[in-house]
Amino acid sequence: IDKPEIEFENTNDFNFIDMYKKAGENLYDMIKSKVFIKDEQECFYIYTIGYNGKLQRGLAVCTSIDDYLKDTIKKHEHTLHDKEMDRINHVTYTGAHTGPIMMTYKKDYEISSILEEWMKLHEPVYDFTTDENISQKIWVVNDKRTIQRLIDLFAGIQSLYIADGHHRAAAAVKVGQNMRLKFQNYTGLEEFNFFLSVLFPSDELTILDYNRLIKDLNGKTYKEIINEVSQKFEIFYQGDKVFRPTKKHTFGMYINGRWYGLSAKPGSFDDGDPVKSLDVSILHNNIISTIFDINDPRRDGRIEFVGGIKGLKELQRYVDAGEMKIAFALYPTSIEELMNIADTGDVMPPKSTWFEPKLRSGLLIHLLNE
């Protein structure tokens, strides 16, 4: 359903609308054959993800496109048109949200207590461990009083923050707006007014480093690169010892078979600006843009990004193999930085956050129509 292109023998020999139609056919075939079974009443679902000894406890719900439009649901990054259109077409032709948006909120202890109590007293309907050793469990919350209490408690939560899934959220909202134009006597209660989300308390989410690789040295020698970097950073030679940043404003750099630790010099960035003081901004403004002339990392083919789940040895491997010339390792952006920036209405630079573990598509599906 999410990757219908695998059903086409030659991926160069189909038009994209056929692909989205195939996704819809596959979904409804699975509904007809009872692979997916619709609950008889509206429910909430507790969705937990366990990895490396840490447990994230989320509540799967439908969130309102009006809350998104009013910025009660806050964003921290821009979206790309092509990626948005891909998700818009997918939702349109499947008539469903098959992949939930990961959101977060400032922790409410009563909400957490309700979820914990429910998990203790009930058995999960899904309980499995993935090949990546990530445990996934889902409980059905079908008690009306518990559901209403959760609704009342979330009414007191000032904001929700998109953690992972900006393109899916934007697409869901635009599909909903298109449906409102089509059905101008809508009441606001139709399913297209809502989209599938899982809400996690902010202290349970894990953001990993999101690292950078650059394909060339922009016509410069290794020595020239080191000299230019030293203008804004203290440099610590590490040799063949991998340097993993352990605090903000420090970076690892791997070039010509050697690791270096970098520490941003005072005055090299605006410490009072929540965006410019992000490590991804410091790296971009002082090295990637100024030294390598990469100004738009979303579109420049000379830069690539590697999620921290792959480890720093993966960065070294790319450079040693000659596929890339230089790698940069970053300290992870914090959830507090994300929420602060979203609260001000600003956005982060591209590829600022890598959330792990990921939500699974297809465990829960929200249909827009019967």
Q: What is the pLDDT of residues 115-171, one digit of tens each?
A: 999 999 999 999 999 999 999 999 999 999 999 999 999 999 999 999 999 999 999
Is pLDDT of 13 > 70?
no
- Per residue in 267-286, pLDDT (tens digit) is 999 999 999 999 999 999 99
pLDDT above 90 for 26: yes
Burial of 47 (0-12, 13-18, 19+ CB in 10 A): buried
pLDDT in tens, 314-340: 999 999 999 999 999 999 999 999 999
Q: Supply the pTM of this predicted model.
A: 0.91
Q: What is the pLDDT of residue 255?
A: 97
Q: What is the pLDDT of residue 57?
A: 97
| Separation in Å, CA 108 to CA 105, 157, 201, 268 | 8, 8, 8, 38
Please state, in angstroms and rounded to a whole number, the distance separating the CA atoms of residues 124 and 118: 10
Digit-coded pLDDT (tens) for 169-227? 999 999 999 999 999 999 999 999 999 999 999 999 999 999 999 999 999 999 999 99
Q: What is the mean pLDDT of the chain?
A: 94
219-268 pLDDT, tens digit per residue, is 999 999 999 999 999 999 999 999 999 999 999 999 999 999 999 999 99
